[in-house]
Amino acid sequence: MTSSTPFPADLPRYESLGLGAAQSELEQFDHLTAYRQLGPIYQLTFRGETWVAIGGMEANEAAWRNPDQWDYHEALPPFRELMGPSHVTQLDGEPHRRKRRNLKPGFAMSAVFGLIPAIDHSVAGDLRAAAGQSLRLHDFFMLALTRANSRTLLRCDFDDVTAATFIRFEEHFIRGTSMGEARHAYYALPGFVADRAAVFAFLGELVDRRLAGESAGDNFDAMIAERRERGETLDRAELIPEAYLLLMAGTGNTAKLLNCGLQNLSQDPAWLARLTAELADYTPEKFLGGMGAFPLLKATLLEIERLFPAAPVLARVVAEPFTFNGYTLEKGTKVLHLQTLPHFLDEIYADPYRFDPARWIDREYPKKAQGTYGGSTHLCLGINLVRLHMPVVVANLLRDYRLELGEQPRITVNVNYGVPQVADLMARFEPLRAAV
Ligand code: HEM
């Protein structure tokens, strides 16, 4: 917020709660206590700046009602800096709507659904190749999912060295997005500069081939073809980050959810046994009709999404005066939208810190109580993909393997809500049958 931006003088202050000194990391705040004691809107100091936090069902309703009240261009500069000015995440208004339209042939449910058997085939092969080895679960999932993307959404020759470079780049890139100004030094590290150059060179050559007429029959082709039909110009610099989205984006978050979920599942033997029984005769074709035949799997995944939202808080900047709960925030105000706070309210989800998939059986919760993928027009582009990747991975794993988790940090949910770091969870997949 600039010093000239008027600020509601009587807005409650987080610091008045006496919960601790100024905080530097998001997870150091206790937003649940603040929400209970101060209400759904309050101010706080975060990394030396004043922000306004909004949370609860009413905040989700208000924040998602009118997406044009937010300025994404100002809120997410790291995406622009690294991916270029046309990257979807930081576009607003009509350019954003146009971009989402252009991305649809790549990510709509109708565009990804038919890929289930191919995704399954790829994941099953990677599980077989990894069986019996002790591995870092997070790395394995990122690699398996990115490889699956390279065989479905963006078909390309993606060898192990290239895959490792992409994964290093993505992890470094995403870590930097939450570092504030410190990201500049982080992104200038020579290893990252080299990885970035390699990633962009790889995708640049791929885009050049497609623009020259090469066809791979994949989702990228569909995106390009639809734009051609509409008579839109095809811009190389715009297509490169789009190819990146198809190949790699979000796999770290999916891996995180799978890590957390599998650890919690392994600690609930009764539910795990029922779920394993449900998946005993899983085939990918059975998912083509939806998840109806797998109610326990569906419930398990919804619970994983609830308890481990990989991006629990969204940074926003007010674009036009925004009135919420009697306070008006002026243009330029920095807002932390605690969009997943309702996941941890016991008036909505009983005993909210408990991993309890059964809570989803025969029961629905309000849409605005679910913030894992954000909401409104900037709703996660990859949501349909995640909701295929996760069931395919879990179904293959439980049907064919016993998961042995190694020496591991206990994954607890942050008391303030949020996601713990789980990247160092070790595991081994032991085949249940010789033929796997
Ligand atoms: C479990 C995994 C994932 C989680 C928890 C997640 C979460 C989110 C969240 C919270 C947002 C912000 C929405 C907003 O600003 O309102 C978002 C946006 C986005 N996600 Fe995901 N995501 C995941 C996986 C993916 C995947 C696999 C992709 C692959 C393309 C992806 C691509 C995007 C993009 C491009 C946006 C920006 C959309 C826009 O600004 O229009 N995400 N995601």
What's residue 416's pLDDT? 56
Residue 375, pLDDT above cutoff 90:
yes
CA-nearest residue, atom 3 of ligand 1: 253
**pTM (two decimals):** 0.94
Q: How far does the centroid of ligand 1 lie from the alpha carbon of residue 383, in Å?
A: 7
- Using alpha carbons only, what angle is made at residue 344 by residues 262 and 75, rounded to the nearest 5 degrees? 95
Residue 6, pLDDT above cutoff 90:
no
What's residue 30's pLDDT? 85
The β-bridge partners of 405 are: 427
How many Cβ atoms are within 10 Å of 77's Cβ, its own excluded?
12
CA-nearest residue, atom 11 of ligand 1: 380
Q: How far does the centroid of ligand 1 lie from the alpha carbon of residue 129, in Å?
A: 29
CATH code, domain with 25: 1.10.630.10
Q: Rounded mean pLDDT of the chain? A: 92
**Mean per-residue pLDDT for 402-431?**
71
Instruction: Report how far residue 92's alpha carbon sits from residue 75's, in angstroms, rounded to the nearest whole number.
Output: 11
- The tens digit of pLDDT for each residue in 174-187 reads 989 888 889 999 99
pLDDT band at 398 (very low <50, low <70, confident <90, very high): very high
Burial of 45 (0-12, 13-18, 19+ CB in 10 A): middle
- Is the residue at 9 inside a domain? no
380 CB less than 6 Å from ligand 1?
yes
For 152, the 3-state DSSP assignment is coil
H helix or E strand, kind and range, residue 210: helix 190-211
Nearest 10 degrees: Cα torsion 105, 111, 112, 113: 170
- Is the residue at 84 inside a domain? yes
- Could you give the percent of the chain with pLDDT greater than 90? 80
What is the extent of the structural domain holding 25?
A: 14-431
**Mean per-residue pLDDT for 8-14?**
90
253 CB less than 6 Å from ligand 1?
yes
- The tens digit of pLDDT for each residue in 298-309 reads 999 999 999 989
Residue 115 near residue 125 (C-beta atoms within 8 A): no
Ligand 1: atom nearest CA of 390 is 1
**Mean per-residue pLDDT for 115-126?**
98
pLDDT band at 418 (very low <50, low <70, confident <90, very high): low
- Is the residue at 61 inside a domain? yes
pLDDT band at 274 (very low <50, low <70, confident <90, very high): very high
- Could you give the percent of the chain with pLDDT greater than 70? 92
State the total domains in the chain. 1
**Mean per-residue pLDDT for 225-245?**
96
pLDDT band at 21 (very low <50, low <70, confident <90, very high): low
User: Higher confidence at residue 88 or residue 29?
Assistant: 88
314 CB less than 6 Å from ligand 1?
yes
- Is the residue at 155 inside a domain? yes
- Is the residue at 436 inside a domain? no
Residue 124, pLDDT above cutoff 50:
yes
SS (H, E, C) 65-113: HCHHHECHHHHCHHHHHHHCCCCHHHCCHHHHHHHHHHHHHHHCHHHHH
Q: How far does the centroid of ligand 1 lie from the alpha carbon of residue 224, in Å?
A: 22
Read off φ and ψ for residue 355, nearest 5 degrees. -75, 105
Q: How far does the centroid of ligand 1 lie from the alpha carbon of residue 388, in Å?
A: 15
252 CB less than 6 Å from ligand 1?
no
203 CB less than 6 Å from ligand 1?
no
Tokens of 283: 């085939």
- The tens digit of pLDDT for each residue in 133-156 reads 999 999 999 999 999 999 999 999
Ligand 1: atom nearest CA of 249 is 29
pLDDT band at 28 (very low <50, low <70, confident <90, very high): confident
Chain centroid, CA 415 distance in Å: 21
**Mean per-residue pLDDT for 199-226?**
98
Residue 99, pLDDT above cutoff 60:
yes
Residue 234, pLDDT above cutoff 90:
yes
- Is the residue at 226 inside a domain? yes
What's residue 37's pLDDT? 96
What's residue 2's pLDDT? 44
CA-nearest residue, atom 25 of ligand 1: 250
What's residue 3's pLDDT? 45
What's residue 1's pLDDT? 44
pLDDT band at 434 (very low <50, low <70, confident <90, very high): confident
- Is the residue at 2 inside a domain? no
- Is the residue at 3 inside a domain? no
Pocket test for ligand 1, best of 149, 372, 380 (most atoms within 8 A of CB): 380
